[in-house]
Structure 1
Amino acid sequence: MNADQQALDWLEEYRSPTASAADLLCDRHDPEAVAFTLVEPDMTSESMTWGQLADESRRMATVLAAKGIQRGECVPVLLGKRRALVVTLLGLWRLGAVHVPLFTAFATGAIELRTESSGARFVVTDASQREKVDPLAVTVLDVDDLVAEAASAEPIAESVAIGGDATLVQLYTSGTTGKPKGVPVPLFCLASFQVYLEYSLDVTEDDVFWNAADPGWAYGLYYALLAPMVGGRTSLLLNQGFTPESTVDVISTFGVTNFAAAPTIYRAMRAGADLEAISLRRASSAGEPLTPDIVAWGVENLGCEVRDHYGQTELGMVIGNHWHPELAKPLKVGSMGQAMPGFTAGIAEGQIALDVKASPLLWFSGYDGAPEKTAERFTADGAWYLTADTGKIDDEGYLSFTSRDDDVILAAGYRIGPFDVESVLAGHAVVNEVAVVGRPDPEGIRGEVVEAFVVLRAGVEGTDELATELKNLVRDQYSRHAYPRTVHFIDSLPKTPSGKIQRFVLRRDA
């Protein structure tokens, strides 16, 4: 069966009015097979089988129901990447409740925004996070107390079958302007998540798979938890934040063969980690455009090239340099690849866009309670979903990212995409990370001029000579009209918690 037909078959099954989250995500899998490998900071680990997950989540569902949690109710969960996280989520889904992800680095304000917007009555957390939640007008459920109660509880007799169009998750976008918007994620989205897992990432039964993204955000939730769960693949979870050293330790200790992470992680690994013990079969990247230097570095240091993929909170992943042999094509420098099975991509109004009628796996139906914001995501005739990312497509269907629509630099009549300039600068031997923004031309002639913010590798000093060298690099390797008039050397780039560079902060603060 080819990939397009497989995508449609999964869609038909997962959109059924009788579809059950518990069945799709757990109960149908071999109870003896491993669902998750749970790793602690000291590299000790435990395995959780599908059978254990089924039993523990059924008992958890009984306890959660006794607390008053009901079908369709939004329940925020603020937990690290631990066993109790997975058990709690599946327990909620057995009741037909809706998971609202909370990132563990959130402060009280960000948590309150999500609890109030979702109408939450409860928050599930643990002692390490509780002080952030206690000031809020919600009932706090301590997960360790829930686990203790669940140990002696009777398993729930029957899980709720919510149907494919019902909401599984309500996730909030990490917007750079305005308040985050609620995105209802329906159960049938699992079809597109499984297509990405099996065809773009090419996660097989023999792989040791690790998506290092945090499940408090879309890429981690969708593809470290939900996609492996629906696909019946073992997923590794590390119960700590990111460091280059711990990432390498996990990959080498557990023999990871299929790895997915944000470009930030790959750049950090390149800058300061011993990679001799790593040999990956597949390496994938998402969340921010991948510069060509990381692709080449991966071949030499990781055992394979790093392939770039593209998606959004509202879509999941939809475009990629797919790994599966049926879909794999040669990489084109600077391209995010081609549309994923189940989607048709193109350019509309200058933006990367999806053809709504020709994209059966498209699941976004609108932002929660925000019809005006929803309308901005579509062309006036409703034919195209607009990503707000500018880009281009070639005659082979390869798409290339230019920038977020509001990051485009307009200089002397030219539209300059930050990514093009950043790719050149990132290729310099001493540059670890870089972001480029437009600033008003002080001479008032060009409209805007390009400014670069550069994070150097450890031990390298930012000098006037180096700044001139970097300017000339762009002149020589990209274009004279796009070279940065000013180069700032800084310690770190401002980013969202999910790792996306916040260029608006650089424009504001420079």
Structure 2
Amino acid sequence: MQFDTSKTAAYEQLYNGFHWNVPEKYNFGFDVVDKWAADRTKLALLSLSEDGEQAEYMSFFELSRLSDRFANVLVDLGLKKGDRVLIILHSIPQWYVAMIAMFKLGVVPMPGTVLLTAKDISYRVNRAEAVMVITDLDHVARVDEVARECPTLKHKMVVDGKTPGWYAYDAQMAAAKAKLERGVLGEVVTADPLMLYFTSGTTGQPKMVRHSHAYPMGHEVTARYAQSLQPTDLHWTVSETGWAKAAWGKLFGQMIVGAAIVQRKSLGRFNPENTLRALERYGVTTFCAPPTVYRMLIQQDLKAYDFTLRHCMSAGEPMNPEVIKAWREGTGLDIYDFYGQTETVCILSNYPFMPLKYGSVGKPTPGHDVRVVDENGVELAPGDEGHIAMYLGDQRPPGLMMEYWLDDDAMAGSFKGDYYYTGDRAYRDEEGYFWFVGRGDDIIKSSGYRVGPFEVESALQEHPAVAECAVVGAPDPEGVRGMVIKAFVVLVKGYEASEALTKEIQDYVKNTTAPYKYPRLIEYREELPKTISGKILRRELRKQ
């Protein structure tokens, strides 16, 4: 690839000239939402129905007033600064009202996916000693099923109706004062806890990730640079409210920049046609979705739509180059992959002002010193695979979590010396681009080779018969190699599993990547197991 040196220089100038400025006192609700509310006409939210046919518009001014009122509801109920509240809501305006109200007070929300079971709810409430649950009628029975085993749970509120034993959102809002006094529950400072996220649990019980009030500042980098947002943008990140990606793509950075946010209430399976129609109908300008969504979208006739999109992104899992090529053929736009975790903001990204390498997760974002290191924190040479780690010796970035709350073992495993270890592996090329290899526990060791699943999956994804795939290590049936590479494949509609197709796919991978990386075993599936955040559960496939 020929590099545009002017673009490379622009990145170096931006990265080297960036410095964090974290004040002692910062409150996202007052210092961002209320600031934009001074312009009573500025759009904050565009909330869509599931089919995308109905739309509700909400300005920053309305959001500011409603969040003040709901904050007074919580004060009247007796909540205190630092209290934890589990919030389980679909993508509806009340989620924003409640979240921003809690930020203003210093009450700590714990966003949960709408897929949480009664057992999941019990675990989260008890683990964090939460005092309140805010949810909808769909989840009332799940909460009531376990409420008696949650001794700290004092308050239950339903936002979309009435039910015995629960506070009704509408009635409480009608009775509350409209004006909120800043600091009514005590002064909130930047170092105070802002929110708790539970990790998706790909490797065991979810851990509690605690972020401070500085966390939104870190997402300004996500929005301005990785997402390239401007105040005139209408941005849509496909994400449910319980995932950390909601904080990444439909809350903090977007509102800091002043971009309007699209959200859609989604109750069933993802509908690619409805999504494409909504992108066209409402004039969405920037779009972010996980690879799973893009794989479904490229199965449609993309050229049949008249989009106003200018920038497209992906995060959550590595983006296969073949998907990017198909999207570009249909829309004329590339997909810019970026990387981070529930524990961080965006720390690696591709940028529209920098040459794009398909398959790479790009370079460090401003304010983040990301390196590839070994177990002892020694930085590795270009091309050598190691741990993705963030150097903290100069200044701790505001977007990095405060801690794994109440989990000393997890803290010791992630914070070593001057580094935060992400648990993911990658290598860096000569131009400084990072290439994701996989989770540390996903690496396959076969016949003396170390193989990352992503490279094999990318090769598989290029075959026209493969709609989706996942690669894991499996015991060698012949008992010779110890472990072999096994692929689980979901076929494109119109293809049928056969020995001939298996041989064809295996030969294709042999010719696309190193011969030792081809899957000796292929199993065809209707669908792949995923976490509640849409990531493929390779540990489940390994068990099977």
TM-score, scaled to structure 1: 0.94
Partner of 1:143: 159
Counterpart secondary structure, 2:75? helix
1:79 to 77, 80, 89: 89
Is 1:355 the equivalent of 2:391?
yes
Deviation of the 1:149 alpha carbon: 2.5
Which shifted more, 462-471 or 172-181?
172-181
Find the aligned partners of 1:147 and 1:168 in 2 and give their Cα distance. Answer: 25
2:114 to 95, 104, 112: 104
Alignment of 1:12-31 (within 5 A): 12=21, 15-29=22-36, 30-31=39-40
Partner of 2:338: 309
Find the aligned partners of 2:395 and 2:294 in 1 and give their Cα distance. Answer: 31
Counterpart secondary structure, 1:28? helix
Residue pair 1:377, 1:386 contacting (<8 A) in 2 also? yes
Residue pair 1:57, 1:90 contacting (<8 A) in 2 also? yes
| Deviation per residue, 1:171-201 (Å, 9 max, x gap) | 0111222210001111111122011101111
1:155 to 167, 178, 188: 178
Which shifted more, 113-122 or 217-226?
217-226
Determine what percentage of the aligned residue pairs are the same residue: 32
| Deviation per residue, 1:19-53 (Å, 9 max, x gap) | 22322330111332011111112421111111111
Partner of 2:538: 503
CA distance 1:275–1:76, change in 2 (3 Å)? farther
Find the aligned partners of 1:188 and 1:247 in 2 and give their Cα distance. Answer: 33
Residue pair 1:263, 1:288 contacting (<8 A) in 2 also? yes
| Deviation per residue, 1:212-264 (Å, 9 max, x gap) | 11121111223212222222221011111532122112101111110001000
Deviation of the 1:282 alpha carbon: 0.6
1:260 to 245, 270, 288: 288
Deviation of the 1:415 alpha carbon: 0.3
Q: Which amino acid aligns with 1:353?
A: A
TM-score, scaled to structure 2: 0.88
2:363 to 330, 338, 343: 338
Deviation of the 1:372 alpha carbon: 1.3
2:422 to 387, 393, 414: 387
Find the aligned partners of 1:203 and 1:507 in 2 and give their Cα distance. Answer: 40
Deviation of the 1:287 alpha carbon: 0.4
1:220 to 246, 254, 261: 246
Residue pair 1:7, 1:192 contacting (<8 A) in 2 also? no
Counterpart secondary structure, 2:325? helix
Residue pair 2:231, 2:257 contacting (<8 A) in 1 also? no
Partner of 1:376: 413
Task: List gaps (5 residues or longer) in structure 1.
Answer: none
Find the aligned partners of 2:226 and 2:395 in 1 and give their Cα distance. Answer: 17
Residue pair 1:251, 1:278 contacting (<8 A) in 2 also? no
Find the aligned partners of 1:148 and 1:231 in 2 and give their Cα distance. Answer: 34
Counterpart secondary structure, 1:498? coil
Find the aligned partners of 1:163 and 1:303 in 2 and give their Cα distance. Answer: 45
Find the aligned partners of 1:359 and 1:236 in 2 and give their Cα distance. Answer: 34
Is 1:35 the equivalent of 2:51?
no
Partner of 1:288: 317
Counterpart secondary structure, 1:330? coil
Find the aligned partners of 2:349 and 2:283 in 1 and give their Cα distance. Answer: 25
Deviation of the 1:272 alpha carbon: 4.0
Partner of 2:61: 51
Partner of 1:246: 274
Partner of 1:318: 347
| Deviation per residue, 1:52-75 (Å, 9 max, x gap) | 111111111111111121111111
Find the aligned partners of 2:252 and 2:347 in 1 and give their Cα distance. Answer: 16
Q: Which amino acid aligns with 1:250?
A: A
Find the aligned partners of 1:499 and 1:92 in 2 and give their Cα distance. Answer: 27
CA distance 1:274–1:397, change in 2 (3 Å)? closer
Matched residues, number: 499
State the Cα RMSD in Å. Answer: 1.8
Which shifted more, 387-396 or 461-470?
387-396
Task: List gaps (5 residues or longer) in structure 2.
Answer: 1-9, 161-167, 375-385
Which shifted more, 353-362 or 301-310?
353-362
Alignment of 1:456-471 (within 5 A): 456-471=491-506
Find the aligned partners of 1:483 and 1:21 in 2 and give their Cα distance. Answer: 49
Q: Which amino acid aligns with 2:171?
A: A
